[in-house]
Amino acid sequence: MSVDRTTWEHGEAPLNLLVLGAVVHGYTIPLVWIALDHTGNSDTRARMWLVLRLLQALPARRWKGLVADREFIGAEWFRFLRPKGIRRAIRIRKDTILDDLRADTCFADLQQGQFCVLAEQTWVFGERLRVVATRSPSGDLVIIATDFGLWETWKLYKLRCPCGMHLRQHQGQGL
């Protein structure tokens, strides 16, 4: 499953949609969505409502996990997912605090094409998670807080479009 937000511009008023869907071969098939009454990012309550709505029809045990980009972070959101049985692979910002350090500090020496996982689970937004990272071909630091192992995280995350596209080039490269 993937959660994302998209804005469609048609006519005078843009349509800002929050969508939760199944990822199949790199495409997301929308299953539930909500039109947000504002521009910009969604709030945690809207995300929670979307997940609860899908859980009514499709229990979490049928989900491989939830993949999301940096917009979908925060302590309340992370705490909400675990008791629902939803495993995550969520990209976090480079300034996110992991235990007592910024994420970009933890992965400062990471080179393009390398993958790295912190040796221990780390506190991320009040939850104990693995944290894995790579550098994209353009040099961007891609950091993901996850309930999955290193390679399973990348396998899931690279299916998510459009951000996962640059990770396909790294598949099979060493740590």
Name the residue ranges covered by the structural domains of the chain: 2-170
Q: Kindly indicate the confidence band of residue 7, based on its pLDDT and cuts at 50, 70 and 90.
A: confident
Rounded CA gap, 167 and 88, in Å?
Answer: 18
Residue with tokens 């506190």: 123
Under CATH, which architecture does the 2-170 domain have?
Answer: Alpha-Beta Complex (3.90)
Q: Single out the residue of 116, 160, 170 nearest to residue 138, CA to CA.
A: 170
pLDDT tens for each residue of 64-98: 999 999 999 999 999 999 999 999 999 999 999 99
Mean per-residue pLDDT, 8-12: 77
pLDDT digits (tens, 9 = 90+) for 104-158: 999 999 998 888 999 889 999 999 999 999 998 888 999 999 999 988 998 888 8
DSSP annotation of 76 reads H
Q: pTM of the prediction?
A: 0.86
